[in-house]
Amino acid sequence: MDPLFEPLQDFSGVARLFPLPNFVLFPHAVAPLHVFEPRYCAMVEDALAGDHLIATALLLPGWEPEYEGRPPVAPVVCLGRIVTHARLADGRFNLLLAGIHRARVRRELPPDRLFRQAKVELLSDEENFADAAQLLERREALREYVHRRLPAAAAVREQFEQLMSRPLPLGVLVDVISHAVPLLPEVKQRLLEELNVERRSEILLQRLRNLEGQAPPPDAASPGVWPVRFSDN
């Protein structure tokens, strides 16, 4: 197993929440994040001194007036592990966060820290494909649609083909693709919340089909598609 995505051990069930307006992290994906608000810099400091875990949470529509407080977040979050970080001279952070596990927010804890914390329940994929042929067909459909959306840069295509050639569970493959392709945050959140792998893969395929009429990404690696660019808090 890739050490970036080692399963959680002795997780306390309490997660530091990192609410973001336009960003959804998926398990088995890695995202670069730029953290500059004091409360979230404190969150990173606390994580680095402890289990290195942070849960990214999508802010629900209408969050703007309450942003400085505790605006509502989507009920399903992605628990991520800080795998590398750089502390800047002014206290900001650049970090890489590897998605580890889906989790459902059960309740937020009282505001006794600068940052938000919540009691969460870890969630698992539901695998229910009828047979191996159906599973193979779904994987091939994903390969076909995503390949047409990739930048023409050889390195990017090679990375994708290597990914498709590995014996990854379909749920993992769907999560990685969902993270990489240019979908609206609310669509990505729907994919994150769907535990049934068959339904999740069908939702993703339908969204990929909807992208067919749109212009493909440029020849160079597109900052909004692959790889994912740094996301500000």
Average pLDDT over every residue of 198-217: 80
- The CATH class of the 3-124 domain is mainly beta
> What is the pLDDT confidence band of residue 86, given thresholds at 50, 70 and 90?
very high
> What is the pLDDT confidence band of residue 54, given thresholds at 50, 70 and 90?
very high
User: What is the C-alpha separation between 160 and 143, in angstroms, rounded?
Assistant: 9
Least confident of 12-16, 26-30, 101-105, 160-164: 160-164
The sign of the dihedral angle between the CA atoms of 198, 201, 203, 209 is: negative
- In single-letter form, the type of residue at position 43 comes to M
> What is the pLDDT confidence band of residue 6, given thresholds at 50, 70 and 90?
low
What is the CB neighbour count within 10 angstroms for residue 174? 27
pTM reported for the whole predicted model = 0.84
The sign of the dihedral angle between the CA atoms of 12, 52, 77, 197 is: negative
Least confident of 54-58, 119-123, 124-128: 124-128
- Transcribe 25-58 into DSSP letters: --TT-EEEEEE-SHHHHHHHHHHHHTT-EEEEEE
